[in-house]
Structure 1
Amino acid sequence: MKRTTGMGRVTIRDIAAHAGTSFKTVSRVVNGEDSVSPALRQKVQEAMKALGYRPSRAAQTLRSGRHFALCVLSAVALEESFAGDEVPSFLNELIAGLMRACRAQNYQLVLENLAGTDSSPETIQARIASLRADGVILYPPQTDMIWLLDALELAGIPYARIAPGSAPERADCYLVDDFNAAREVGELLLSQGHSRIAFISGPENHLAAAHRREGLQAALAGRPNVELQCEVGTFHFPSGLAIGKKLLIQQTRPTAIFAANDMMALGVMAAASELGIVVPEQLSVVGFDDAPQARFIRPELTSINQNVREMGEMAGKMLIETSREKAAVAPRQHHIPYTLEIRQSVGRAPD
């Protein structure tokens, strides 16, 4: 709880004297307790900053039994999560939201990967039990790995699930309505006169992507003159590029392509550019995620914004609160509102 500075060892009593409050109040602020008014909390934090004080995490852990850290847990090989230097925008946004929640409570955020570990139940359970975290965040496809949920519960580690596609009764879940979001995309394309539509889904173990396909199919149901071609991608740019070329060199090619994430949609746009197909005059393209790249590309990409950063921040706050209260909370489903961001990549179907 102390830090050596040029002026000696700063203690919480020094902080209390500087802030004009009690050392117990300073202790509550340092430990992230809620029983301090926002104004007084700010005053204490300003005093800590002025005196160059940094709390000892080891001392905090010893006293409270908490680790003051959250963990983003992956159980798939890195090459499955990343393609070359491509970091999924979904993961970027999720981490940004979690960092915001952690920073507000002086928590650390760590990333852990179980891939490559001996897959025996005993080894997996030992790895999970050794995690020094007060809570775990699972994102697709980990969020739907039932064996992983079982292992976390056996270890007594609270966890939150981001965008699950199954078993929503297991832990707190943060998700958007993938089905209706995709159906809204389908209705948009129909309103623009498109009758040859293609959909690029993600891997089969990403269950939310399946809901997006089902939502698109629901929008097109009862339209006998509308053709739907479905392909399976990997959620990475090279996948969208390769499948985009495959779709666009067909003699009767689609006039609209909906990809289950933005990186594949950007790959489709690159394929169209290479083949001399103009977006949106000759091809409409829609993505899902509303990654920053969707606004940087020209023409700008139409996409579903599922507010992943908000999901991350909400999940982080919940796990921190759970660790502080040390009380079990009944699982809840948090439905995050989505928006269809209509931009330049969608136009009328060509004649």
Structure 2
Amino acid sequence: MSATSPARSRGDRPESAAGGTATLAEIARAAGVSAPTVSKVLNGRGDVAPATRSRVEELLHRHGYQRRRGSLQAAPLLDLVFHELESSWAMEVIRGVENVARQEGMSVVLSESAGRLTPGQTWVDGVLARRPTGVILVLSGLDPAQRAQLTSRDIPFVVLDPAGDPGDDVPAIGATNWQGGLAATRHLLELGHRRIGVIGGPDGIMCSRARIDGYRAALETAGIAFDPALVASGDFHHEAGYTKGLALLRMPDRPTAVFAGNDLQALGLYEAARELGLRVPQDVSVVGFDDLPLARWISPPLTTVRQPLTEMAEAAARLVLDLGRGKQPGTLRMDLATRLVERASSAPPHAV
């Protein structure tokens, strides 16, 4: 069927932001291009000049253009995009999305935005061309123009573990990060630790800030003054746990316990302790966050806060499928519960 066939034109008649209707042909006239050119832009075709594409996209956004649901058959795909793919953390998320996709007879398209918290335009163009059933963005987000592009094509999206505040109108699945940071620190306090360090993630990441805030709340509740010197910002990778851990453990009045912002940084902290001749937990207790499979097998097994990554990914996949089927969820934001898992890396402090 061609882009200008009657069936496609009827399906592409949306409600405009002003309350009227804007057809594909009307958008084309306003842009000074042909209707097939507008159709190419809608379908993510690459054979459109950048200036023309930008003009058409601006008009689609201005008129609130949105394809009528079901006017085009979505591909049986879920697009899953990470800001980076470097750890078993990502594998837990992939497993959850794959579980749902398998049940639904769908496939998963996996991509990475090379460390950017907002995917590039090349990724957006690929999504528009594939027309997936839905998009899941992990520790990422969309800028307003990208949101408008997906919305105009009736491609639903969900943000999993959002890097920043996604907004009240953006579907998002997260975890109780503040409660997890509180539980980790409270556990160490209950063991008798009073000088507790923390290695967070990047300062600009919402989950990292929430875990640090939970740490601070636990200290304040216990009547212990917050010491900025005991707080380090990492990047959720082994190397940061190692380098920031060395700095904390070399302090003249070093902490007797450290809450690492995730399990990978906890592993780096283990290495820093070994290099300095310190034993875990005899000389320094360590608590992580995530409860990745490796947490049970390192020595000593890691006390950590379990973040239900697979369940979060499953929830995100089900939510985006519901949105694609026109179902309205009871809430657009869901935070799954975290819980402390006690193992052998935490113990009461030794008397000095």
TM above 0.5, one fold?
yes
Cα offset, 1:317, TM superposition: 2.2
| SS of equivalent residue, structure 1 residue 130 | helix
**For the structure 1 residues 122 and 208, does the alpha-carbon distance in structure 2 shift closer, same or farther, using more than 3 Å as the test?**
closer
| SS of equivalent residue, structure 2 residue 108 | strand
1:338 match: 338
2:64 match: none
Please show how residues 135-150 of structure 1 align to structure 2 within 5 Å.
135-140=134-139, 142-143=140-141, 148-150=146-148
Take 2:257 and 2:91, find their aligned partners in 1: how far apart are those partners?
28
Contact (CA 8 Å) 2:119, 2:142: kept in 1 or not? no
Residue 65 of structure 1 aligns to which amino acid in structure 2? Q
Deviation by residue 1:103-150 (Cα, 9 ceiling, x = unmatched): 111100011335599x9997775455334311111111x148666545
Cα offset, 1:226, TM superposition: 6.5
Deviation by residue 1:223-250 (Cα, 9 ceiling, x = unmatched): 2467461111111111111111111122
Mind listing any 5+ residue stretches in structure 2 that lack a counterpart?
1-69
Take 2:125 and 2:170, find their aligned partners in 1: how far apart are those partners?
21
Contact (CA 8 Å) 1:171, 1:330: kept in 2 or not? no
Q: Which piece of structure 1 moves more, 169-178 or 257-266?
A: 169-178
Contact (CA 8 Å) 2:322, 2:329: kept in 1 or not? no
**For the structure 1 residues 115 and 176, does the alpha-carbon distance in structure 2 shift closer, same or farther, using more than 3 Å as the test?**
closer
2:108 match: 109
TM-score w.r.t. length of structure 1? 0.71
Please show how residues 78-93 of structure 1 align to structure 2 within 5 Å.
81-82=84-85, 87-93=86-92
2:184 match: 185
**For the structure 1 residues 265 and 149, does the alpha-carbon distance in structure 2 shift closer, same or farther, using more than 3 Å as the test?**
farther
Contact (CA 8 Å) 1:144, 1:207: kept in 2 or not? no
Contact (CA 8 Å) 1:259, 1:287: kept in 2 or not? yes
2:76 match: 68
Question: How many residues end up aligned between the 2 structures?
Answer: 278
TM-score w.r.t. length of structure 2? 0.71
1:310 match: 311
Contact (CA 8 Å) 1:307, 1:336: kept in 2 or not? yes
Please show how residues 199-214 of structure 1 align to structure 2 within 5 Å.
199-214=198-213
Residue 87 of structure 2 aligns to which amino acid in structure 1? P
Please show how residues 37-56 of structure 1 align to structure 2 within 5 Å.
none
Take 1:321 and 1:95, find their aligned partners in 2: how far apart are those partners?
19
Please show how residues 154-169 of structure 1 align to structure 2 within 5 Å.
154-164=152-162, 165-169=164-168
Cα offset, 1:298, TM superposition: 0.9
Give the share of equivalent positions with the same residue, in percent: 29
Deviation by residue 1:35-88 (Cα, 9 ceiling, x = unmatched): xxxxxxxxxxxxxxxxxxxxxxxxxxx9970200001124x4xxxx35xxxx32
Residue 254 of structure 2 aligns to which amino acid in structure 1? R
Take 2:246 and 2:329, find their aligned partners in 1: how far apart are those partners?
49
Residue 247 of structure 1 aligns to which amino acid in structure 2? L
Contact (CA 8 Å) 1:304, 1:341: kept in 2 or not? yes
2:292 match: 291
Take 2:345 and 2:115, find their aligned partners in 1: how far apart are those partners?
41
1:350 match: 350
Deviation by residue 1:4-43 (Cα, 9 ceiling, x = unmatched): xxxxxxxxxxxxxxxxxxxxxxxxxxxxxxxxxxxxxxxx
Residue 108 of structure 1 aligns to which amino acid in structure 2? S
**For the structure 1 residues 167 and 350, does the alpha-carbon distance in structure 2 shift closer, same or farther, using more than 3 Å as the test?**
same
| SS of equivalent residue, structure 1 residue 285 | strand
Residue 70 of structure 1 aligns to which amino acid in structure 2? L
Residue 100 of structure 2 aligns to which amino acid in structure 1? A
Deviation by residue 1:243-278 (Cα, 9 ceiling, x = unmatched): 111111222111111111100011101111121101
| SS of equivalent residue, structure 1 residue 136 | strand
Matched, 1:152 2:160: no
Cα offset, 1:220, TM superposition: 0.4
2:235 match: 234
Matched, 1:269 2:267: no
Take 2:244 and 2:148, find their aligned partners in 1: how far apart are those partners?
36
Residue 242 of structure 1 aligns to which amino acid in structure 2? T
Residue 306 of structure 2 aligns to which amino acid in structure 1? N
| SS of equivalent residue, structure 1 residue 264 | helix
Contact (CA 8 Å) 2:131, 2:155: kept in 1 or not? no
**For the structure 1 residues 121 and 296, does the alpha-carbon distance in structure 2 shift closer, same or farther, using more than 3 Å as the test?**
closer
Matched, 1:250 2:251: yes
Take 1:204 and 1:275, find their aligned partners in 2: how far apart are those partners?
27
Deviation by residue 1:189-213 (Cα, 9 ceiling, x = unmatched): 1111111111111113321110000
2:133 match: 134
1:321 match: 322
Take 2:287 and 2:183, find their aligned partners in 1: how far apart are those partners?
11
Please show how residues 205-224 of structure 1 align to structure 2 within 5 Å.
205-221=204-220, 223-224=223-224
Matched, 1:94 2:102: no
